[in-house]
């Protein structure tokens, strides 16, 4: 599967003076490929055509999502968030080339990090910065944070949006909490507190309390739905 995707990526990237090296990830939305672009170590994100969708609609969706992701990354960086820099965009082709951030995913090294509370406070600060600007990440988890020699970087804004909606901000924070509870449950409480300390530094205590209240509401709704499903299964 990856060989086929890499072959498809090679053909497209060659048109843009980029040399594909290896597939970094394959998702429902895109293929992510490590490449060299004009002398830079880079990452290419390719939103490939979906054959099951109407071609005109497919082209429109891929174009809009690609352009939006690049803009979200650019705006986040302007705020001081450590994120990959967009290097080249061809929205019509669904192609976004960004700089390569070396390092493991936070999820994979969290247990052995000595400064993990400091790291989560930084990530929480970044989350507060983007929320304050009216940006939601859409998939804010420990898997979408890179631990690099230069610090921690937030990656993959592919599901992000411009929004000031408290519900969407709460979902961002809840996703981070859930990702911690599912992979490192014993560390989740202290790291969530560190995350929210950083969030408050960026947005203030009032915004922190509002978002945390929304997270609690989201969790209650989830427990309610789970309980309804459990009772239905026993009936």
**Does one domain contain both 139 and 36?**
no
* pLDDT of amino acid 228: 44
Q: What is the pLDDT of residues 197-233, one digit of tens each?
A: 999 999 999 999 999 999 999 998 866 444 445 444 5
* pTM given for the model: 0.91
**Does one domain contain both 208 and 134?**
yes
Domain boundary among 99, 134, 159: 99
* Selected residue with higher pLDDT from 23 and 135: 135
**Does one domain contain both 95 and 110?**
no
**Does one domain contain both 118 and 222?**
yes
**Does one domain contain both 126 and 94?**
no
In Å, what is the CA distance from 14 to each residue of 10, 36, 37, 70, 127? Answer: 6, 10, 10, 21, 36
**Does one domain contain both 139 and 45?**
no
Q: What is the pLDDT of residues 94-150, one digit of tens each?
A: 999 999 999 999 999 999 998 999 999 999 999 999 999 999 999 999 999 999 987
Lowest mean pLDDT segment, chosen from 6-10, 39-43, 155-159: 6-10
Which contiguous run of DSSP H or E holds residue 162?
A: strand 161-162
* pLDDT of amino acid 55: 85
Rounded to an integer, what distance in angstroms lies between the CA atom of residue 90 and that of residue 67?
Answer: 8
Q: Among this protein's residues, is 139 annotated catalytic? A: yes
- Full domain range(s) for residue 210: 106-234
Whether 6 shows a pLDDT value over 70: the answer reads no
Whether 5 shows a pLDDT value over 70: the answer reads no
Please give the tally of structural domains in the chain. Answer: 2
Q: What is the pLDDT of residues 32-90, one digit of tens each?
A: 999 999 999 999 999 987 878 888 888 899 999 999 999 999 999 999 999 999 999 99
Catalytic residue among 139, 156, 165, 172: 139
**Over residues 156-183, mean pLDDT:** 96
Q: In what order do the strands lie in the sheet with 95-99?
A: 18-26, 31-37, 40-46, 95-99, 86-90
């Amino acid at each position: 599967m990856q060989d086929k995707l890499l072959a498809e990526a090679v053909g497209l990237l060659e048109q843009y003076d980029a040399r594909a090296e290896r597939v970094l990830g394959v998702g429902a939305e895109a293929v992510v490929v490590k490449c060299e672009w004009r002398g830079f170590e880079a990452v290419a994100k390719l939103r490939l055509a979906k054959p099951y969708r109407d071609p005109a609609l497919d082209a429109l969706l891929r174009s809009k999502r690609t352009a939006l992701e690049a803009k979200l990354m650019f705006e986040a960086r302007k705020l001081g968030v450590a994120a990959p820099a967009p290097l080249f965009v061809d929205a019509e082709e669904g192609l976004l080339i960004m700089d390569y951030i070396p390092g493991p995913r936070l999820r994979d090294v969290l247990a052995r990090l000595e400064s993990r509370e400091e790291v989560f406070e930084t990530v929480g600060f970044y989350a507060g910065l983007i929320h304050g600007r009216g940006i939601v990440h859409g998939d804010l988890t420990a898997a979408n944070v890179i631990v690099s020699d230069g610090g921690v970087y937030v990656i993959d804004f592919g599901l992000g949006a411009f929004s000031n909606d408290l519900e969407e901000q709460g979902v961002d924070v809840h996703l981070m909490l859930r990702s911690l509870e599912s992979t490192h449950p014993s560390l989740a409480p202290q790291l969530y507190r560190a995350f929210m300390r950083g969030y408050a530094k960026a947005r203030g205590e009032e915004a922190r309390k509002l978002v945390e209240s929304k997270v609690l509401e989201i969790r209650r709704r989830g427990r309610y739905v789970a309980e309804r499903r459990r009772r239905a299964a026993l009936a």
